[in-house]
Amino acid sequence: MQRRSRWIVSVLIVAALSLAACGGSTSADEETSAPAVLEQIEGSDLMRITLTEEAASRLDIQTATVQEGQAADGSTQQTTIPYAAVLYEPDGVTFTYTSPEPLVFVRQPITVDRIDGDLAFLTDGPPTGTAVVVVGAAELYGTELGIDQ
């Protein structure tokens, strides 16, 4: 009986040590390099999201530029973005993520006049030439809201 007890205790010790090893250790670099850093933009309720290159790659972040398109009446030009760049808050407010510099993203409110195919025609939004996120924007929103934590 004692022999069996020793065997069980030995198995339990080995199992406990194995599980402790599974927890692994992290290097100092892994602890200090978060995939995303959020910074409050002074004077607003918006956040500036800065991703690591690896995080942007994993999210497959892709951007397009704000363009000018023909307004519905055909007489004027109107700002357009890909419809994929349009996001909706739960209350229906629309926004997009701009990328003012590589790996940096900022939510910007927009006003959509109409959707025509793959284009959203805006009455208010970022200026022509601004980079907007067309792939990975929902993940940026989740990051901004802290859903990933």
For the chain, list the domains and their CATH numbers: 26-145 (2.40.420.20)
pTM value surpassing 0.85: no
Work out whether strand 111-116 and strand 62-65 pair parallel, antiparallel, or are unpaired: unpaired
Alpha-carbon distance of 123 to 76, in angstroms, equals: 12
Residues in contact with 128: Cβ distance below 8 Å, sequence separation at least 6, in sequence order? 65, 66, 67, 68, 79
Q: Which DSSP state fits 126? A: S
> What does each of the 149 residues of the chain score in pLDDT, given as a tens digit?
555 444 444 434 444 444 444 444 444 444 557 899 999 999 988 899 999 999 999 999 999 999 998 877 777 889 999 999 999 999 999 999 999 999 999 999 999 999 999 999 999 999 999 999 999 999 999 998 888 55
Residue 44 backbone dihedrals phi, psi, to 5 degrees: -145, 175
Asked whether 84 and 133 are in contact (CB, 8 A), the reply is no
